Amino acid sequence: MRYESPATTKEAVALLSKEKGPAFVIAGGTDLLVRMKSGLVEPALLVDVKRIPAMTTIKVMQTGFRVGAAVSGAELGAHKALGKAWPGVVEATNLIGSDQIQGRCTMVGNLCNASPAADSVPALIAAGAKAAIVGKQGRRTAAVEKIITGPGSTSLAKGEVIEALTLPKSSRRTGDAYLRFTPRTEMDIAVVGVGISMTLERGIIKKARVCLGAVAPTPILVPAAADTIIGTKLDDAALAALAAACSDACDPIDDKRGTAAYRIRVAGVLARRVATIAFQRAGGAA
């Protein structure tokens, strides 16, 4: 196995493109190293991106935020402006693993691992985050919901890497939140996860995005669920409709972590709770 730690994204792309055997990007390695240890993957090449400046910084821009692919959960949690603008995204990322894992894990790693249960992904999708992708052919941008195509698979071509995620500028009237259900308080994988962001106008929900995790082969953006609360003040009827729409959108499986019936049920419960938090964060009155 070869280990490389290039200084630029371009070099990283070149290394990954050239390698004939199994090649992996390593940032925090909190998923990859576990899979290597258990013998699930045997990489021929590891490309460490932690020395690439463009990947290790959080930039505050006119249009929002640009979070480098190798920024750890702990760094994200310590970034005041980001935490204020997108608390749901930061909280979701900070749910991954434990304190020790937070020192290493990254949002992009969480995204590219492509688990249906990834915690940061529903929050990112709800927030309208985009991925800045670099490949042999140059740069492109894609919405985060276009990245994961199935359990463990992404739409990234060979050699392509995500250099950063961008989050739009958030207003005082925007609020987001993410909650997951796990039997344990931490060190657990979401049985269901729900991310919601919304923007209010005169106390009424004007725009909303609802994304569900762990209830389908990929995290799913559910416009039908968003529609149930747009135009409302999040009254009980809207919450009930939201819950029903979220449950309806689920296409889960029975597995060791939960039954399909339980996931469908709890998706609705969590959606109500998440919407309530996001609504408050957007300045909505209960």
Partner 1 sequence: MPHDNSYTGQEFKVVGNRFARPDGVDKVTGRARYGADASAPGQLVARVLRSPHAHAKITKIDTAKAERLSGVKAVITSDDLPDLTGGDRGMADILENCMARGRALYDGHAVAAVAAVDEQTARKALKLIKVTYEVLPHVTDVDEAMKPEAPVIHDWVFTGGVNPQPTKPCNVANRTEMGHGDVDAGFAQADVVIERSYKTEQTHQGYIEPHACLASVNSDGSAEMWVTTQGPFSYRTVCASLLGMDLAKLKVTSSEIGGGFGGKTHVWAEPLALALSRKANRPVKLVMTRDEVFRATGPTASTSIDVKVGAKKNGEITAAELELRYQGGAFPGIWGMLGCMTGFACYDIANQRSVGWDVIVNRPKVAAYRAPSAPMAAYAVESIMDVVAEEIGMDPVDFRLKNVAKEGAQAPYGPIYGPIGIESALNAVKENPHMKVKLKKNQGRGVACGFWFNIGGQTCVDLNIGTDGSVNLAVGTVDVGGARSSMGMIAAEELGIDYEDVKVHVADTASLGHNDTTEGSRGTFSSGMATIFAARDAIEVLKERAAQMLDVPKESIQWENGTASATGAENSNLPTLTLKEIAAKSHNTGGPIAGHNEVTADGAGMGFAAHICDVEVDPETGLTKILKYTVVQDAGKAIHPDYVEGQFQGAAAQGIGWALNEEYVYGEDGRLQNPGFLDYRIPVCSDLPFIDTMILEIPNPNHPYGIRGVGETSIVPPLGAVGNAIANATGVRMNHAPMSPIRVLEALDRAGVSGDQVSAG
Q: Tell me which residues touch partner 1 (CB under 8 A).
A: 38-39, 98, 181, 183-189, 239-245, 247, 255-259, 262, 265-266, 268-269, 272
Task: Decide whether 201 or 255 has the Cβ nearer to partner 1.
Answer: 255
Task: Decide whether 213 or 258 has the Cβ nearer to partner 1.
Answer: 258
DSSP state of 194: E
Which residues have CB under 8 Å from 220's CB, separation 6+? 211, 212, 249, 251
Task: Decide whether 11 or 188 has the Cβ nearer to partner 1.
Answer: 188
Question: Around Cβ 22, how many Cβ atoms within 10 Å?
Answer: 12
Nearest to 61 by CA among 43, 82, 42: 82
Closest CB 98 distance from partner 1, rounded Å? 8
**278 SS3 class:** helix
Structure tokens at 276: 């309530």
Closest CB 242 distance from partner 1, rounded Å? 8
Closest CB 240 distance from partner 1, rounded Å? 4
Contact 122/92 with Cβ under 8 angstroms? yes
Tell me how far apart the alpha carbons of residues 15 and 9 are, in angstroms, rounded to a whole number.
10
Interior angle at CA 98, CA 9 and CA 264, nearest 5: 95
* CA quadruple 24, 26, 30, 35: dihedral, nearest 10: 20
Closest CB 265 distance from partner 1, rounded Å? 6
Interior angle at CA 278, CA 275 and CA 280, nearest 5: 110
Task: Decide whether 126 or 264 has the Cβ nearer to partner 1.
Answer: 264
Closest CB 29 distance from partner 1, rounded Å? 16
Closest CB 44 distance from partner 1, rounded Å? 13
Task: Decide whether 186 or 201 has the Cβ nearer to partner 1.
Answer: 186
Tell me how far apart the alpha carbons of residues 134 and 162 are, in angstroms, rounded to a whole number.
6
For residue 2, what are the β-bridge partners?
Answer: 45
Closest CB 165 distance from partner 1, rounded Å? 25
Question: Around Cβ 63, how many Cβ atoms within 10 Å?
Answer: 9
